[in-house]
Structure 1
């Protein structure tokens, strides 16, 4: 059993340590991090999962971006501690957060990841959506209302006009 909760300010360093553990050194050099730099994550969707001993087992974050002129969410990173992988925690975090995106006013979510894994949550390959290089376009996935949405993904600059 895991306790799923909104990430709190006091969780930041523990969550960052989890991401450092789960991802390769230099993770912050990826193009997705350039889209996050200086932008606040969406707090209502950035979640932690703790085991009964209150040890951090997983975390997920979401960031606002623009695709062309349209708002979207960029999911990631999502990580599960290596000792807790295979217990379904990644799926629990995905469902807990994705179930709230539309009610919070975000009609579409994108990520850069492996289609075979994320397709089970409903993600499809996006065409006409260009992440900053050097992103493999086959790994750009989305869920939600993407009809007619195309263009470059760029940093969030605030609400739509």
Structure 2
């Protein structure tokens, strides 16, 4: 197995190519990309697997989001991608396990994603819609998943997933 390493700035072009290869160039039309637009991914939760020549074989990223009117903070897993020639070797599962552990250690309480239930259920993901969470746009209900990274993190949380609330200083009146 290849080591899991923090993503480097120099990996960006290879990751974009890998995502196009894994998901197609029209991937950016999906609902989750609306939540990512203009929002940087969480650098401390961005990991890659490279071969001995430095070629990125797998990648995972997370994005900050909020849920509901209370703007409960959460992280959105995805995309996770593995080069087609290396799929089925456990690289994707290893990236997910590693990054979920890192998210927990960084005190993130809640993780959401859009993905196949049979793939993500063994990690502890449950149907998010059944828990009162909503994804903007059209997303197949059974593909919308959530996972508590901290016990009780889903308790009392509900509503629409949105971009993180911008906090910043307001300019003083002149």
Is TM more than 0.5 here?
yes
2:110 alignment counterpart: 108
2:139 alignment counterpart: 135
Instruction: Give the TM-score of the pair, scaled to structure 1.
Output: 0.94
How far off its partner does 1:45 sit?
0.7
Name the stretch that deviates more: 68-77 or 100-109: 100-109
How far off its partner does 1:26 sit?
1.1
Instruction: List structure 1 runs of 4+ shifted beyond 3 angstroms.
Output: none
Instruction: Give the TM-score of the pair, scaled to structure 2.
Output: 0.87
Aligned partners of 1:58 and 1:78 also within 8 Å: yes
Name the stretch that deviates more: 130-139 or 90-99: 130-139
Cα deviations by residue, 1:66-107 (Å, 9 ceiling, x for unpaired): 011200001000000000001000111001100011221210
Aligned partners of 1:31 and 1:135 also within 8 Å: yes
Distance 1:34 1:40 in 2: 12
Distance 1:102 1:120 in 2: 17
Aligned partners of 1:3 and 1:52 also within 8 Å: no
How far off its partner does 1:40 sit?
1.0
Cα deviations by residue, 1:8-27 (Å, 9 ceiling, x for unpaired): 11110110000000003311
1:48 alignment counterpart: 48
Alignment RMSD? 1.2
